[in-house]
């Protein structure tokens, strides 16, 4: 497609749409509070559909509220190429997480219209419902209902803190569609997203091509020792749950560092009981999560943590329990889609690196039913899920340009 090498999105227009739609749920501190299926979400959705209608593209909504905007291609026998992400945010979310992937997709469609470019396969922009899981748990709801991982009925019965169900909220904002989620097929799906981590910014590289997503293992844990008097119990006769936990936490750090950078391990919560200054701690309840892009190494991290728990229990006369409450296998994205993104980045003249996503995304969820990959752009200080979340207009435009050329590569252009 050499004749399209110079094709670029309108970066200023993309930036204005990001700023304009940030008003739907905009917060005083410059962030967005746009909880899934809220009135603010409805406004953003209505705005998106209005843009599609104005342009003359087809729109559809499925029974979990996922929005599909289709720009027809010349060859109806080919499966559409999809781009998409999510318009919902965390309660104190930023202007880019999810939103960029949807609005960059809109900008891609607008650019194709501007230049009168006809693709072979149709191009479909998708807004996935409730990626964040902030109002209705769990997240990735629209994409996991699409793949069949979560039955639509189960999803629609989930309730928020006010007892309103997803099904009721969908009806209230007018997005309970007729079409069954998962009935559509796509030739590929690409999600553009901010990195939500510090790597691209630190290396001053505008584009990350995501070829895999880390698997995850979540544990609830408990150290049981023995409560006793802080003044009368000699040091060598203690069964201190807190010091045992401290030793265990340092072991977890050692295990995770040995797997860096592909593996990470985090103890995010620890409650010490009974919580008295002059009682030796009798228990510590904690959470532990491991993430790794390689399933075998993830299993090895778990085995190492279990060995450490046994060893420390024996050494210190305590009992450390680990209960695995949730797991997700690593996902490898489609090599052809990854290659198309690399080709697109080269065509646009951007430096890029291949990366692994440490976070969950709609693209990670749908990768099991369609060829999928992701594009990352840098975000300031790697901060996300925060009103201070920030990305530059240049990087947003760079991501949208790589999205444009990836989609053209996969959909094919009629000349």
Is 98 a residue that touches Zn ion (CB under 5 A)? yes
Tell me the closest approach of the beta carbon of residue 410 to Zn ion, in angstroms. Answer: 22
CA–CA separation, 384 and 386 (whole Å):
5
CA–CA separation, 373 and 364 (whole Å):
8
Nearest CB to Zn ion, comparing residues 88 and 211: 88
> How far lies 357's CA from each of 196, 214, 338, 373, in Å?
9, 6, 13, 10
Is 259 a residue that touches Zn ion (CB under 5 A)? no
Helix 335-348 to helix 393-411 angle (10° resolution) is 120
Tell me the closest approach of the beta carbon of residue 233 to Zn ion, in angstroms. Answer: 50
Q: Which of 330, 347, 354, 348 is nearest to 209 (CA)?
A: 354
Tell me the closest approach of the beta carbon of residue 341 to Zn ion, in angstroms. Answer: 18
Tell me the closest approach of the beta carbon of residue 131 to Zn ion, in angstroms. Answer: 5
Does residue 85 contact residue 99 with C-beta atoms inside 8 Å?
yes
Q: Which residues contact 345 (CB under 8 A, 6 or more apart)?
A: 207, 209, 352, 402, 405
Nearest CB to Zn ion, comparing residues 87 and 176: 87
Nearest CB to Zn ion, comparing residues 98 and 215: 98
Footprint (CB under 5 A) of Zn ion, residues 190-249: none
Segment near Zn ion (CB under 5 A); pick from 72-80, 89-97, 387-395, 398-406: 89-97
Tell me the closest approach of the beta carbon of residue 332 to Zn ion, in angstroms. Answer: 20
Nearest CB to Zn ion, comparing residues 90 and 152: 90
CA–CA separation, 22 and 18 (whole Å):
6
Tell me the closest approach of the beta carbon of residue 123 to Zn ion, in angstroms. Answer: 21
- Tell me, by CB under 5 A, how many residues bind Zn ion: 2
> How far lies 392's CA from each of 163, 211, 351, 378, 383, in Å?
39, 24, 16, 8, 13
Q: What is the DSSP string of 272-288?
A: EES--TTEE--EEEEEE
Nearest CB to Zn ion, comparing residues 313 and 357: 357
Tell me the closest approach of the beta carbon of residue 373 to Zn ion, in angstroms. Answer: 16
Is 97 a residue that touches Zn ion (CB under 5 A)? yes
Tell me the residue number closest to Zn ion, measured at CB: 98
Segment near Zn ion (CB under 5 A); pick from 17-25, 93-101, 154-162, 391-399: 93-101
Nearest CB to Zn ion, comparing residues 32 and 49: 32
Nearest CB to Zn ion, comparing residues 94 and 225: 94
In the structure encoding, which two tokens stand for residue 58, read together? 């087809």
Does residue 106 contact residue 48 with C-beta atoms inside 8 Å?
yes
* Interface residue list for Zn ion (CB under 5 A): 97-98
């Amino acid at each position: 497609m050499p004749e399209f090498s110079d094709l670029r999105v309108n970066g200023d227009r993309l930036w204005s749409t990001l700023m304009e739609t940030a008003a739907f749920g905009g917060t005083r501190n410059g962030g967005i509070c746009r909880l899934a299926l809220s009135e603010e979400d409805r406004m953003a959705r209505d705005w998106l559909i209005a843009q599609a209608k104005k342009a003359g593209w087809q729109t559809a909504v499925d029974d979990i509220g996922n929005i599909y905007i289709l720009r027809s291609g010349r060859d109806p026998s080919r499966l559409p190429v999809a781009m998409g992400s999510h318009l919902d945010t965390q309660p104190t979310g930023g202007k880019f997480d999810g939103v960029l992937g949807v609005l960059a997709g809109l900008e891609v469609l607008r650019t194709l219209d501007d230049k009168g470019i006809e693709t072979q396969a149709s191009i479909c922009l998708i807004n996935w419902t409730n990626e964040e899981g902030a109002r209705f748990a769990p997240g990735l709801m629209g994409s996991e209902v699409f793949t069949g991982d979560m039955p639509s009925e189960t999803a629609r019965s989930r309730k928020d803190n006010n007892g309103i169900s997803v099904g009721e909220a969908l009806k209230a904002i007018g997005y309970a569609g007729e079409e069954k989620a998962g009935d559509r097929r796509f030739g590929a799906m690409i999600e553009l997203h901010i990195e939500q981590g510090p790597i691209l910014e630190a290396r001053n590289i505008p584009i990350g091509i995501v070829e895999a997503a880390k698997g995850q293992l979540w544990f609830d844990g408990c150290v049981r020792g023995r409560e006793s008097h802080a003044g009368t119990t000699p040091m060598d006769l203690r069964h201190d749950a807190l010091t045992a936990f401290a030793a265990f936490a340092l072991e977890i750090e050692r295990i995770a560092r040995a797997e860096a950078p592909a593996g990470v391990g985090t103890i995010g919560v620890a409650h010490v009981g009974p919580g008295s200054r002059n009682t030796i701690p009798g228990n510590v309840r904690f959470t532990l999560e491991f993430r790794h892009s390689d399933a075998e190494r993830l299993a090895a991290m778990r085995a190492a943590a279990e060995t450490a728990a046994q060893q420390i229990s024996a050494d210190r006369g305590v009992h450390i329990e680990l209960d695995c409450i949730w797991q997700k296998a690593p996902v490898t994205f489609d090599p052809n889609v990854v290659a198309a993104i690399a080709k697109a980045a080269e065509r646009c003249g951007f430096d890029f690196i291949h990366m692994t996503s440490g976070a969950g995304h709609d693209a990670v969820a749908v990768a099991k039913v369609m060829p999928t990959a992701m594009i990352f752009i840098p975000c300031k200080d790697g901060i996300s899920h925060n009103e201070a979340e920030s990305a530059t207009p240049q990087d947003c435009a760079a991501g949208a340009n790589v999205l444009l050329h990836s989609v053209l590569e996969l959909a094919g252009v009629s000349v």
